[in-house]
Amino acid sequence: MRKYLLLAALLVVGLFLAAPSVKAQGGVKAGPDPSTLRDPDLEKDSVHNLEVANHYFKLKKAYVAAIKRCEEIIAGNPNFARMDEVLFIAGESSLRLSEKKGKQSSKQTPDQLREDARTYLTQLVNDHPQSALRKQAEEDLRELGGPKP
């Protein structure tokens, strides 16, 4: 009889100890964060566009073409995993075009291009604080008058 009483007491104590962990799991109200849900085909297409933009930016010095590829990614896949790189290439391309660098010329004025560069780089700094490209973006923003408010 004593064995059963001791076993019942241990069972009751065990239930009291397990109850908080069961209750802790009940707080889930929604699924995963929508900003982390990514379409694999769209990601693949965006990676390709980023590689092409990078090629235009680094090797060809075709900054207008690089900006167009970046804008395509920004418009079509705003949750792209490597958006910090896209914003950096778009910002740097705009900045270099404003300085009349590269093999292409833009229809925009240098002031418009500097403002575009400031917009892209501000978005990089604000939205991607852990990015490795943030430091360079902040340096360029200082030359452009600081980040946009």
Six-digit token string for 40 = 């694999």
| Residue-wise pLDDT tens digits, 25-62 | 555 566 566 556 789 999 999 999 999 999 999 999 99
Residue 149 has a pLDDT of 86
Residue pair 140/98 in contact by the 8 Å Cβ criterion? no
Low-confidence spans in the chain with pLDDT less than 50: none
Report whether 124 contacts 87 (CB < 8 A): yes
d(CA 40, CA 124): 23
pLDDT value at residue 38: 86
Q: Report how far residue 87's alpha carbon sits from residue 120's, in angstroms, rounded to the nearest whole number.
A: 5
The per-residue DSSP string of 65-131 comes to: HHHHHHHHHHHH-TT-TTHHHHHHHHHHHHHHHHTT-SS---SS-HHHHHHHHHHHHHHHHHH-TT-
pLDDT of residue 9: 66
> Which CATH code for domain 60-149?
1.25.40.10
Helical (H) or strand (E) element with 28: none
Distances (CA, A) of 6 to 12, 18, 44: 10, 18, 62
List the chain domain ranges: 60-149
